[in-house]
Amino acid sequence: MITFSLQSGSNGNAIYVEADGVRLLFDAGISGRQAAARMARHGRDIRGVDALILSHWHRDHVRCAGVYHRLFHLPVYGARATFEVAGATLGELGPVRYFVPGQTLTFGRMQVHTLPTPHDAEDSVAFVVEAEGKRLGVLTDLGHPFGALVRTLPELDAVYLESNYDPHLLEVGSYPPELKARIRGAHGHLSNQEAAELLASCRPGRLRWVALAHLSAENNCPELALETHRRLLGRTFPLTVASRYGVTELLVV
């Protein structure tokens, strides 16, 4: 299984996964031009993607889904609430494919398990992609460390895991109190410490690498996120950061 993040953060999200001849995109929060160019850097043509799968209706995950559908002719999958709430953002769409959170989608020999999350968007999901005997997690916008997440992590071979904010930076930052409360609340995002503790709790396990994802621009930075995780996971554990501004290296599961 091969994967890379095109971009990850509140400024836009998109992750590519390929295995067994199937090519998928998860979320569409960056422009069509950016997506096509970043895929081309790894020798992939966005027009060859078999499906675009949406995690939830927040704009940083769906705002360009309609463009991908109309310009690149990608079939679009999502929960019904995603299309109902984001309708004006998506624009005109042809037939879409609905799934129920918790449902498993099948594309050839690849399976995509949708994992309901307690994030503050109706029918929000994360994903576990299973193919070639491997399991990859695409786990962001998680709310808090809920039971299914704790059970899922030890079963993964690799994971994109939300590590959104540092609690101190959030506390002293410029966000209004209600936004701070939303981020650190039960339906917001995972902190660096929460993500690191989750990973530490499932070691030793199957994980070959972790890509820290959905980092806040104001309340986090890659160096701080990595340092927090290394304190709990050790200096040798394979960690990388999915950038807010560009494509990651090619990652092999």
Collapsing DSSP to helix, strand or coil, 197 comes out as helix
Predicted confidence at residue 204, as pLDDT, reads 64
Q: pTM score > 0.85 for this model?
A: yes
Q: Calculate the alpha carbon distances from 124 to 188, 241, 243 in Å.
A: 12, 23, 22
CATH topology of domain 2-252: Metallo-beta-lactamase; Chain A (3.60.15)
Q: Specify which residues 15 forms β-bridges with.
A: 5, 26
Distance CA 217, CA 190 (A): 14
Predicted confidence at residue 40, as pLDDT, reads 98
Distance CA 25, CA 76 (A): 10
Phi, psi dihedrals of residue 171, rounded to the nearest 5°: -65, -40
Chain center to CA of 69? 20
Predicted confidence at residue 205, as pLDDT, reads 76
Do the Cβ atoms of 232 and 196 come closer than 8 Å?
Answer: yes
Predicted confidence at residue 198, as pLDDT, reads 95
| Per-residue pLDDT of the chain in tens (253 residues, 90 and over written 9) | 999 999 999 999 999 999 999 999 999 999 999 999 999 999 999 999 999 999 999 999 999 999 999 999 999 999 999 999 998 889 988 889 999 999 999 999 999 999 999 999 999 999 999 999 999 999 999 999 999 999 999 999 999 999 999 999 999 999 999 999 999 999 999 999 999 999 998 876 799 999 999 999 999 999 999 999 999 998 889 999 999 999 999 999 9
